[in-house]
């Protein structure tokens, strides 16, 4: 039986061990602290020693470099002095000798005499002299042992005017004797000076000693020793790979230190001068790059290590003394603890008795400890912890019950069908599962899963066998997911996606099952497969296939029909474009490759016809290939998508049709066009009525006359006569140039633009019997084509303008919105506000320009507002007449009514009228604009009775003639060479759309006045919805849908600044999903802002329709950069309650919110 011990004995034993361990640990801690302190002390000793030694080494080496610099300076001074003295001597000797003989000798002889004098002079050792003719700059004499380089010669020639120079390895002084065009240059090659300097430095360094063992050593960068162990080394060999006993490559370390800017320190082992064993050594190395030297000095570290060892010995003695004192203290403390332990043991026994009674009862009841029975504070705290543990246990049990209830609610209320399945069968299921199978809980619980399925699955396997296999797999792997064909209790079959997950349940592994009905998506997939089959069949019937090329991987893929067209029996056999190229006919291959290359590189449209030789049977077939390329962000083509079609039969039919066409052309042309038949001498034999009408000649008059008299034509560009049709010189006689247009001049001088064609009349072997000239009047057709071209250009320009304006408005929203937001944030800064007002004014001008572009692009319904026309008129006149040579005058009647107009379209009307007026006065003049109230009491013309504003724009120009007045509002009518003919037509269209009237009064030479009547309101100021601070809009929850990130960003900042919360989405699908989620979680959004146009996604029109189905009470506003879109103009007809035009600013948003929510609190 195990021996039971008392608390007192156990406590005493543990306290005893605690004392022992504490004493040992305290002793070890103290020893450790002393050891750490000693280590720090040793480190400080070593650091101080190393710091002092490094400083000393630098000072030593600095002395050597100071000596080098000193020697260099003295050497330069000596050389300068020698050069100066020697050059002066040369100059003096030459001048003295020449002074005696100059009068009797020529220039050449004087130069020769001077050279002979210079040759006799002996320069100092190492110096040389050269003589140069300053006129020809040629060297006459040189005492140098080596020739000069071209660079050195150029240097000398630039210093001939008695100047000292140092360059390109030379040091010298030039003196000039101008009387004889001679310059003497005294030189010393720098190389000799450098060698002398090196020798002096080596001698000085070899003489230095420090502390008996310190010295200077010098090596070259290549590792050749020059000074080693304080001694000169001559003809030394490279010791680049020299290694110390520790493996340090000494010379290579020296080189690394020398290459640093201020040198560096290295550590290695080296023997002392007085010893034989290697000692640790530290050296300081500096490099001399111009000499390729490594100069260094070092110190041995053995003295430092000896000092540290002595310190360690003293530390060991101290540790022993402290250990003895610790042992005596341990014995004293042990005795005191023994007496205290006996006293404490008696007190602890009574305290533990209380806890013993507590633990007897806590297993069966939540009993608490009475803390009043305990005397010690620690046991009272332990009792309180035990009581809290009992309370916590109660709370955990309560939380578990609540958690189980929540899971049960989630399980029952889930929309997904769920059940729990054990090995024996169903344990539980939710209502969604019962609804899915049209079953009751009782019938469901006793039905195994395979009984809820048809007998066999679509793959032919038994439902029972396959279901059991999948359940076993879920037990084994933890989960399984698959599609399954189920059958309801009503007998209806449907597809489900089944998810099985193994979970622990009542100490048993069970399967948690989720069913999702995928019958609809399964049907969609089947439809997709059928669609693909139809596509393959249509390609087969049309003999057309699709293909694509991955330009990055050089991979070619095509449809089955494309492979069959090329004659491949193995589908997918072609994997690259190069393989396809082999099938192209050799005569077409180069052309096709060139077109494809231009298509890839330049984007040239690729639509080409070529021949191939089929791979399987070699048959020649005609193919047509069309392709488009896909580029990356940089514009580089990365993929090509194309279609190819076999058009062999079509080509053959075209050939047959052309042959038939040639047979019938003369007959058909004669029946529909003017026809003149001549003999082979070009005399008229026959004319049809159309020819009579165009030429002005009756057939009876023309017969027998030369064709040149009847048919006179000129070139439409040069106005020169054309050769006769059918004549060898005539262009219409060439098959390649038939049906060319020319101007036919009739008998009465009237001109017609015609298309002329002539054909010879052949008869068996008789040759040419005559010609048939067929021509057709195309004057009206040309006019129609020109009008059509104008219309097409206008449509293209309009589409471009609309796209530009839309994108411009989106970008301007980011600018105007942020400017207005900053203005609101900086209300207390007048200077900043003034600058922002100027910026905002500029953006308003840009906004108006964008609206003009949209008006031009679409001509949409005007956005009617009650606005002050006075401000619009003044802005238009100021903007359009700025910088023009005309004077503008404005007269506005007092109390002018507001106009019911679209401000952007009104600006365009004023702009077009003002530009026309300026163009009517090229030499300057006056433009007068008047505005007045005008009331119609009785209906006149198309205007109903009511109030109008009349605006008159008058100029002093050339005026308009009466015959042109009726045409000036016609589209494309213009009297200007470069005009489009759309200005006044656009003005007329806009005024009509506003329910107004446009008229003109003009006489030639007296100027013109255009009058505009526009509907008016009785207000004299524009309506503005002011922000009422005493009744602010409550914080709103807003949903914004816009595909432009810049719009979303600025809207986010503005609505947050106004105190509203906003959720951002980029398309209609996302907006619908977010709105639906908000309805499920709580109140829906207060306001939804929808952009009309979402490229590639659901736009505002479709989204509002879906939202109204989802929530008939939804409050939404439309926003768009297309200001004239019908949805913007008539937003209420589409289900919107407001509109917000881009670009908008903070005031526009406040106006919209107050309009929709101003009365709410």
In order, the DSSP letters of 755-774 are EEEEEEEE-GGG-EEEEEEE
**DSSP secondary structure string, 10-29?**
HHHHHHHHHHHHHHHHHHHH
Beta-carbon contacts of 87 under 8 Å, excluding residues fewer than 6 positions away, are 173, 174, 175, 184, 186
The predicted pLDDT at position 342 comes to: 64
**Token code pair at residue 445:** 């619980």
Across 149-158, b (16+ Cβ under 10 Å) vs e yields eeebbebbee
The predicted pLDDT at position 801 comes to: 61
Sign of the dihedral defined by the CA atoms of residues 320, 321, 323, 324, in that order: positive
What number of other Cβ atoms are within 10 A of residue 1053's Cβ? Answer: 16
Domain segments of the chain as ranges: 208-300, 414-517, 543-646, 665-777, 779-825+1026-1161, 869-1017
Least confident among 448-452, 534-538, 958-962, 1077-1081: 534-538
Helix axes 983-993, 903-919, angle to 10 degrees: 150
Least confident among 704-718, 937-951, 957-971, 1135-1149: 957-971
Least confident among 318-322, 755-759, 1023-1027: 1023-1027
Element (H, E) at 915: helix 903-919
Contact 991, 1014 (CB under 8 A): yes
Least confident among 232-236, 716-720, 971-975: 971-975
Superfamily of domain 665-777: PAS domain (3.30.450.20)
Contact 921, 914 (CB under 8 A): no
Q: What is the pLDDT of residues 178-192, one digit of tens each?
A: 777 778 787 776 656
Question: ∠ CA(250), CA(253), CA(256), 5° rounding?
Answer: 155
Contact 774, 672 (CB under 8 A): no
Question: What's the rounded Cα separation, in Å, for the pair 539 and 546?
Answer: 9
Q: Is 984 exposed, middle or buried (0-12, 13-18, 19+ CB in 10 A)?
A: buried
User: What backbone phi and psi angles, to 5 degrees, belong to 813?
Assistant: -60, -45
- R_g over Cα of the chain: 55
Q: What is the pLDDT of residues 134-160, one digit of tens each?
A: 777 788 878 776 677 777 777 777 777
User: What backbone phi and psi angles, to 5 degrees, belong to 1096?
Assistant: 75, 10
Whether residue 397 is predicted with pLDDT greater than 60 in this model: the reply is yes
What number of other Cβ atoms are within 10 A of residue 203's Cβ? Answer: 11
| 918 to 205, 849, 921, 954: CA distances (angstroms) | 96, 20, 5, 11
Q: What is the pLDDT of residues 834-889, one digit of tens each?
A: 667 666 766 666 665 666 555 555 555 677 888 888 888 988 888 888 878 888 89
Element (H, E) at 533: helix 519-542
Mean predicted confidence (pLDDT) in 623-650: 89
Q: What is the pLDDT of residues 70-119, one digit of tens each?
A: 777 777 777 777 777 777 777 777 777 766 665 556 777 777 777 877 77
The predicted pLDDT at position 653 comes to: 84
Protein fold of 414-517: Beta-Lactamase (3.30.450)
Question: ∠ CA(689), CA(691), CA(693), 5° rounding?
Answer: 70
Question: ∠ CA(567), CA(568), CA(569), 5° rounding?
Answer: 115
The yes or no reply on domain 543-646 and CATH 3.30.450.20 is yes
The predicted pLDDT at position 948 comes to: 92
Greater confidence, 386 or 892? Answer: 892
**Token code pair at residue 691:** 């020819």
The predicted pLDDT at position 301 comes to: 77
Cis peptide leading into residue 1143 (ω within 30°): yes
Question: What's the rounded Cα separation, in Å, for the pair 997 and 1014?
Answer: 7
Whether residue 247 is predicted with pLDDT greater than 80 in this model: the reply is yes
**DSSP secondary structure string, 87-101?**
HHHHHHHHHHHHHHH
Mean predicted confidence (pLDDT) in 58-70: 81
What number of other Cβ atoms are within 10 A of residue 666's Cβ? Answer: 16
3-state DSSP call for residue 674?
Answer: strand
Beta-carbon contacts of 194 under 8 Å, excluding residues fewer than 6 positions away, are 291
E strands of 876-964, at which residues? Answer: 886-892, 898-901, 925-936, 946-955
Whether residue 949 is predicted with pLDDT greater than 80 in this model: the reply is yes
Mean predicted confidence (pLDDT) in 689-705: 89
User: In the block, which residue shows the tokens 């809290």?
Assistant: 388
Whether residue 528 is predicted with pLDDT greater than 90 in this model: the reply is no
Greater confidence, 1030 or 961? Answer: 961
User: What backbone phi and psi angles, to 5 degrees, belong to 302?
Assistant: -70, -30
For 920-982, where are the alpha helices, taking DSSP H only? 962-965
**Token code pair at residue 39:** 């280590």
User: For residue 515, what are the β-bridge partners?
Assistant: 417, 498
Greater confidence, 355 or 1061? Answer: 1061
Which class in CATH covers the domain with range 869-1017?
A: alpha beta
Question: What's the rounded Cα separation, in Å, for the pair 293 and 912?
Answer: 86
Question: What's the rounded Cα separation, in Å, for the pair 88 and 162?
Answer: 10
**What percentage of the chain reaches a pLDDT higher than 70?**
75
87-96, 1023-1032, 1140-1149, range with greatest mean pLDDT? 1140-1149
User: In the block, which residue shows the tokens 């013993």?
Assistant: 356
| 274 to 214, 303, 321, 483, 954: CA distances (angstroms) | 11, 15, 41, 94, 118
The predicted pLDDT at position 805 comes to: 63
Residue 1067's pLDDT band, with cuts at 50, 70 and 90, is very high
Sign of the dihedral defined by the CA atoms of residues 275, 278, 280, 283, in that order: positive
Residue 280's pLDDT band, with cuts at 50, 70 and 90, is confident
The predicted pLDDT at position 941 comes to: 65
1105-1112 — which CB contacts under 8 Å span 24+ positions? 1105/1135, 1106/1068, 1106/1072, 1107/1071, 1107/1072, 1107/1075, 1107/1135, 1108/1135, 1110/1072, 1110/1075, 1110/1076, 1110/1079, 1111/1075, 1111/1079, 1111/1084
Superfamily of domain 779-825+1026-1161: Response regulator (3.40.50.2300)
- 543-646 and 779-825+1026-1161 share one CATH topology? no
Residue 1012's pLDDT band, with cuts at 50, 70 and 90, is very high
Mean pLDDT score across all residues of the chain: 78
What number of other Cβ atoms are within 10 A of residue 759's Cβ? Answer: 20
Protein fold of 208-300: Beta-Lactamase (3.30.450)
Mean predicted confidence (pLDDT) in 600-609: 90
Residue 665's pLDDT band, with cuts at 50, 70 and 90, is very low
The predicted pLDDT at position 1061 comes to: 92
Contact 257, 263 (CB under 8 A): yes
Contact 462, 483 (CB under 8 A): no
Mean predicted confidence (pLDDT) in 645-653: 86
Mean predicted confidence (pLDDT) in 648-658: 82
3-state DSSP call for residue 227?
Answer: strand
Greater confidence, 1075 or 308? Answer: 1075
Does the predicted model carry a pTM greater than 0.85? no
Q: What is the pLDDT of residues 614-627, one digit of tens each?
A: 888 888 999 999 99
What number of other Cβ atoms are within 10 A of residue 675's Cβ? Answer: 20
Q: What is the pLDDT of residues 540-590, one digit of tens each?
A: 665 678 888 888 888 888 888 888 888 876 555 666 777 778 888 999 999
Whether residue 242 is predicted with pLDDT greater than 60 in this model: the reply is yes
Question: What's the rounded Cα separation, in Å, for the pair 873 and 890?
Answer: 8
Mean predicted confidence (pLDDT) in 499-520: 84
Question: What's the rounded Cα separation, in Å, for the pair 352 and 375?
Answer: 11
């Amino acid at each position: 039986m195990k021996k039971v011990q008392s608390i007192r004995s156990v406590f005493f034993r543990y306290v005893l061990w605690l004392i022992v361990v504490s004493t040992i640990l305290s002793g070890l801690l103290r020893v450790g602290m002393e050891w750490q302190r000693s280590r720090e002390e040793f480190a400080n000793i070593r650091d101080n020693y190393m710091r002092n030694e490094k400083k000393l080494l630098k000072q030593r080496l600095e002395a050597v470099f100071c000596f080098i610099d000193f020697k260099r300076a003295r050497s330069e001074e000596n050389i300068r002095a020698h050069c100066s003295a020697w050059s002066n001597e040369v100059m003096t000797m030459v001048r003295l000798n020449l002074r005696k003989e100059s009068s009797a000798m020529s220039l050449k002889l004087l130069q020769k005499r001077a050279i002979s004098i210079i040759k006799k002079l002996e320069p100092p050792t190492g110096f040389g002299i050269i003589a140069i003719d300053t006129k020809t700059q040629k060297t006459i004499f040189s005492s140098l042992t080596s020739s000069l380089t071209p660079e050195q010669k150029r240097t000398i020639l630039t210093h001939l005017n008695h100047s000292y120079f140092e360059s390109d390895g030379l040091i010298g002084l030039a003196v000039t004797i101008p009387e004889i065009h001679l310059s003497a240059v005294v030189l010393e090659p720098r190389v000799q000076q450098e060698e002398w300097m090196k020798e002096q430095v080596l001698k000085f360094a070899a003489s230095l000693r420090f502390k008996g063992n310190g010295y200077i050593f010098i090596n070259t960068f290549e590792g050749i020793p020059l000074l080693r162990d304080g001694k000169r080394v001559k003809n030394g060999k490279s010791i680049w790979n020299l290694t110390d006993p520790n493996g340090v490559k000494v010379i290579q370390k020296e080189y690394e230190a020398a290459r640093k800017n201020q040198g560096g320190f290295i550590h290695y082992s080296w023997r002392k001068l007085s010893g034989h064993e290697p000692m640790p050594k530290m050296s300081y190395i500096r490099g001399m790059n111009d000499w390729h030297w490594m100069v260094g000095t070092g110190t041995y570290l053995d003295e430092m290590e000896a000092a540290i060892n002595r310190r360690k010995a003293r530390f060991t003695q101290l540790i022993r003394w402290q250990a003895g004192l610790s042992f005596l203290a341990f014995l004293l403390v042990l005795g005191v603890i023994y007496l205290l332990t006996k006293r404490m043991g008696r007190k602890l026994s009574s305290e533990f008795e209380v806890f013993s009674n507590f633990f007897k009862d806590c297993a069966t009841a939540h009993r608490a400890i009475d803390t009043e029975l305990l005397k010690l504070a620690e046991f009272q705290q332990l009792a309180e912890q035990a009581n809290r543990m009992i309370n916590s246990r109660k709370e955990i049990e309560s939380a578990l019950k609540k958690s189980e209830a929540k899971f049960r609610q989630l399980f029952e209320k889930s929309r997904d069908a769920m059940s729990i399945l054990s090995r024996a069968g169903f344990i539980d299921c939710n209502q969604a599962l019962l609804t899915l199978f049209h079953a009751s809980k009782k019938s469901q619980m006793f039905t195994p899963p395979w009984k809820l399925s048809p007998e066999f699955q679509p793959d032919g396997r038994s439902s029972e066998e396959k279901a059991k296999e999948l359940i076993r797999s879920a037990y084994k792997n933890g989960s399984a997911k698959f599609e399954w064909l189920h059958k309801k209790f009503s007998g209806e079959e449907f597809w489900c996606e089944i998810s099985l997950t193994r979970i622990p349940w009542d100490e048993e592994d069970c399967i948690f099952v989720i069913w999702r009905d995928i019958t609809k998506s399964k049907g969609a997939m089947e439809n997709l497969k059928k669609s693909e089959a139809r596509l393959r069949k249509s390609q087969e019937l049309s003999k057309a296939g699709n293909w694509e090329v991955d330009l990055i991987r050089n991979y070619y893929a095509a449809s089955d029909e494309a492979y069959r067209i090329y004659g491949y029996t193995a589908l997918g056999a072609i994997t690259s474009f190069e393989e396809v190229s082999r099938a192209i006919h050799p005569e077409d291959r180069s052309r096709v490759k060139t077109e494809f290359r231009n298509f890839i590189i330049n984007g040239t449209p690729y639509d080409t016809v070529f021949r191939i030789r089929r791979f399987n049977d070699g048959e020649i077939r005609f193919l047509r290939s069309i392709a488009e390329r896909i580029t990356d962000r940089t514009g580089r083509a990365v993929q090509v998508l194309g279609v190819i079609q076999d058009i062999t039969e079509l080509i053959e039919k075209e050939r047959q049709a052309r042959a038939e066409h040639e047979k019938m052309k003369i007959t058909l042309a004669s029946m529909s066009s003017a026809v003149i038949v001549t003999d082979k001498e070009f005399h008229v034999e026959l004319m049809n009525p159309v020819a009579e009408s165009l030429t002005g000649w009756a057939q009876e008059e023309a017969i027998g006359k030369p064709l040149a008299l009847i048919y006179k034509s000129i070139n439409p560009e040069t106005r020169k006569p054309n050769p006769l049709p059918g004549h060898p010189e005539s262009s219409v006689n060439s098959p390649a140039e038939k049906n060319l247009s020319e101007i036919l001049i009739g008998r009465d001088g009237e001109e017609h633009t015609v298309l002329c064609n002539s054909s010879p009349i052949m008869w068996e072997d008789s040759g040419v019997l005559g010609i048939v000239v067929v021509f057709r009047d195309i004057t009206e057709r040309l006019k129609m084509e020109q009008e059509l071209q104008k219309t097409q250009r206008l449509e293209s320009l309009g589409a471009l303008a609309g796209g530009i304006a839309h994108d411009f408005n989106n970008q301007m929203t980011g600018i105007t919105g942020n400017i207005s937001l900053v203005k609101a944030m900086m209300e207390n800064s007048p200077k900043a506000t003034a600058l922002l007002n100027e910026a905002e004014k500029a953006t308003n001008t840009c906004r108006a320009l964008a609206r003009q572009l949209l008006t031009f692009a679409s001509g949409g319904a005007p956005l009617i507002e009650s606005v002050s026309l006075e401000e619009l008129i003044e802005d238009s006149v100021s903007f359009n007449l700025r910088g023009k040579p005309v004077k503008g005058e404005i007269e506005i009647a007092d109390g002018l009514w507001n106009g019911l107009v679209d401000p952007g379209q009104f600006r365009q009307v004023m702009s077009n009228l003002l530009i026309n007026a300026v163009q009517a006065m090229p030499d300057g003049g006056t433009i007068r604009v008047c505005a007045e109230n005008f009331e119609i009491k009785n209906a006149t013309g198309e205007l109903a009775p009511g109030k109008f504003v009349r605006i008159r724009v008058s100029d002093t120009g050339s005026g308009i003639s009466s015959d042109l007045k009726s045409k000036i509002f016609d589209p494309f009518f213009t009297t200007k060479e470069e005009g489009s003919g759309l200005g006044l037509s656009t003005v007329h269209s806009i005024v009509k759309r506003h329910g107004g009237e446009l008229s003109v009064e003009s006489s030639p030479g007296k100027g013109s006045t255009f009058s505009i009547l526009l509907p008016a309101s009785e207000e004299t100021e524009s309506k503005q919805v002011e922000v009422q601070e005493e009744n602010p809009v409550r914080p709103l929850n807003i949903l914004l849908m816009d595909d432009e990130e810049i719009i979303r960003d600025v809207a986010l900042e503005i609505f947050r600044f106004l105190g509203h919360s906003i959720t951002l989405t980029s398309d209609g699908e996302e907006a619908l999903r977010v709105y639906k989620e908000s309805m499920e979680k709580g109140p829906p959004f207060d306001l939804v802002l929808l952009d009309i146009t979402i490229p590639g996604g659901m736009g505002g029109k479709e989204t509002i329709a879906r939202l109204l189905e989802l929530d008939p009470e939804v409050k939404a506003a439309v926003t768009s950069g297309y200001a004239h879109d019908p949805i913007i103009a008539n937003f209420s007809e589409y289900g919107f309650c407001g509109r917000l035009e881009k670009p908008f600013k903070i005031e526009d948003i406040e106006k919209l919110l107050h309009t929709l929510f101003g009365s709410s609190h």
